Amino acid sequence: VAINKMFNPSLKIATVAHRGASGYAPESTLASYQLAVRMNADYIEMDLQLTADGEIVVMHDETVNRTTDGRGKVMNLTLAEIKVLDAGSWFNKKHPMYAREEYVYEKVPTLREVFEALGKNTSYMLEVKSPEDNPGLEEKMWALVEQFDLVDHIAVQSFSKDSLKKIREWDKDVPLFQLMWYSRPAHISEASLKEISTYANGIGANFLRINENYVHKVKNAGLLMYPYTVNYQINMSKALEWGADGVHTDYPDRFNEVIDEF
Ligand code: G3P
Ligand code: CA
């Protein structure tokens, strides 16, 4: 798979704002995404899910319980039911240091609303969440990306190889990242790397379980390496020393400082 020149690691180390600048503002809200863009993130990361009535909303958890004042599974709620929820007050309570009065007005955004608000001012790391619970999500997402003429402004990541392969069939250039999560020190076989290279451009893996050798193996296979979720500058520096091509972080400003000094 040819690596899009926009993602050539020699050109740019990527700052991926995980759920937006979610260390400073309620995750996966417009406030969080707008702040990430102001902090010069290269990508804003969004977890996508379908509501009961088939709209794409941006939310990480399967339920609205943690990040809103409502209860229930996203897949069982309509967009109208989700839109009345307060998606910011939980953040103010949990992070008084960064609390802001206006966050109480934040809503769960649809993907369309984020594209409308930010358009070509940023790039989007779109995560296809649990495809088995969200049938047709990839098709709907792709239709919106085309409608907003954003094909050159996105990358897609997923834990699902099937989702990524489906998207690769539609577009041979869009950067795709295979997500991995390791509960033990990470190992990856040459055979897995070879297979991933047939459909993806890179790997996203949890930073705490990888090491320099893992990064080198990924890079030697011609793949990009974006560890997640790296929030301390000491770890960000380590990721860069190992050869990572970018990191996912809740604090895009911190990573940009590390890149500047690297
Ligand atoms: O950005 C990578 C990361 O998003 C994968 O984990 O659980 O935060 O979606 P999660
Ligand atoms: Ca995610």
Residue 46's domain is classified under what CATH number? Answer: 3.20.20.190
Q: How far is 107 from 150, CA to CA, in rounded Å?
A: 23
Pocket, ligand 1, Cβ cutoff 6 A: 18, 45, 47, 60, 127, 179, 204, 228, 248
Residue 33 lies in a domain: yes
Confirm whether 153 is a catalytic residue: no
Total count of domains within the chain:
1
Residue 70 lies in a domain: no
Eight-state DSSP code of residue 250: S
Neighbours of 86 (CB within 10 A): 17
Pairing of strands 43-50, 56-58: antiparallel
Residue ID of nearest Cα to ligand 1 atom 2: 228
Residue 133 lies in a domain: yes
* Entry pTM: 0.95
Q: How far is 11 from 1, CA to CA, in rounded Å?
A: 18
pLDDT at position 214, please? 98
Give the structural domain span for 175: 5-62+112-261
φ/ψ (deg, to 5) at 214:
-60, -45
Got the DSSP string for 95-159?
-GGG--GGGGG--PPBHHHHHHHHGGGSEEEEEE--GGGSTTHHHHHHHHHHHTT-GGGEEEEES
Residues near 220 by Cβ (< 8 Å), separated by ≥ 6?
A: none
Residue 75 lies in a domain: no
Of 18, 95, 153, 216, catalytic: 18
Taking only the tens place, the pLDDT of each residue in 202-253 is 999 999 999 999 999 999 999 999 999 999 999 999 999 999 999 999 999 9
Extract the residue ranges of the chain whose pLDDT is less than 50. Answer: 1-9
Quote the ligand 2 centre to 262 CA distance (angstroms): 26
